[in-house]
A = this chain, B = another copy of it.
Amino acid sequence: MNRLQLRALLEEVRSGAVTPESAHEQLLQYLRQSPYENLGFARVDHHRSVRQGFPEVVYGPGKTPEQIATISERIVAAGHNLLVTRTTRDAYEAIRERLPAASFHEQARTITLRLTSMPPGRGTILVAAAGTADLPVAEEAVTSAEIMGNTVDRLYDVGVAGLHRLLAEHARLTAAHVVIVVAGMEGALPSVVGGLVDAPVIAVPTSVGYGASFGGITALLAMLNSCANGVSVVNIDNGFGAAAIASAINHLP
């Protein structure tokens, strides 16, 4: 149960769609959960969806497939949607034994399982990517945003070296409620997009490139120095983080 679901429940009580008794039961069930569950190697944060609108997300690196599966099982057991990021097919196999309904998104390297329907956002999140090599990060953003209850529009291979490809999609750009821009190399795309829209732009530098791209540092620095207004930046290759921010914006009251 997250903050928006809590508010919705109370609205339903007022409107009579839900009886006070049923609401009482649902709240009790939630409150019976400990705020976190200590597995020894991890403390699963069960109240995060109330505090932050989405349950704890499992960050894959540094955890064994067995640990990931155990944490995932506890999250689902608590009635939350599941999202695992930066993960592998091995982890997916371990999860599938316990949670057969889970899905693996190969290009995005994410695992998801949707238990409950999230409240829809106010508008569309557009995910734009500069080149084909940026797609894994862009797809991480897409699958993350979708599991968080957002409608997502994809706009791929629109790098600044062929501006007409971007300008031809001007209408989709300005229609978006939030824009995520994914780019490596010189990271110029967020500046150009930022000058064309008034929606907030979340820039995601990628490690695409070689030599003086320094594994994404160049794109990161370029985005931090954007001369366009309205551009904020997340870590290199952090498609999930961009989606979390975009979703937070898209779900503001």
Contact = CB atoms under 8 A, between A and B. Distances in A.
B43 A165 contact: yes
Interface string A164-198: 11000000000001000000011110011011111
Given A160-B191, A227-B186, A228-B161, A133 B63 contact: yes
A5 interface: no
Contacts of A123: 252-253
Interface string A216-230: 111111111111111
A30 interface: no
Contacts of A133: 59, 61-63
Q: Quickly give the copy total for this chain.
A: 8
Contact of A196 (B51, B231, B235): B51
A229 B195 contact: no
Contacts of A156: 40-43
Interface string A22-63: 000000000000011010111101011001111011010111
A159 interface: yes
Nearest to A48: B162
Nearest to A216: B211
B41 A225 contact: no
A39 to B, nearest CB: 8
A161 B229 contact: yes
**Most chain B beta carbons < 10 A, residue from A62, A213, A221:** A221
Given A162-B195, A211-B236, 19 more contacts: A40-B156, A42-B131, A43-B162, A52-B230, A62-B131, A67-B132, A122-B253, A123-B253, A160-B160, A160-B227, A161-B228, A188-B191, A192-B192, A199-B252, A211-B237, A212-B225, A214-B221, A217-B221, A232-B245
Interface of A: 3, 35-36, 38, 40-43, 45, 47-48, 51-54, 56-57, 59, 61-63, 67, 86, 122-123, 130-135, 156-165, 177, 185-188, 191-192, 194-200, 202, 205, 207-238, 241-242, 244-245, 248-249, 252-253
10 contacts: A38-B157, A41-B132, A62-B134, A186-B225, A188-B191, A188-B227, A210-B235, A210-B237, A211-B235, A213-B225
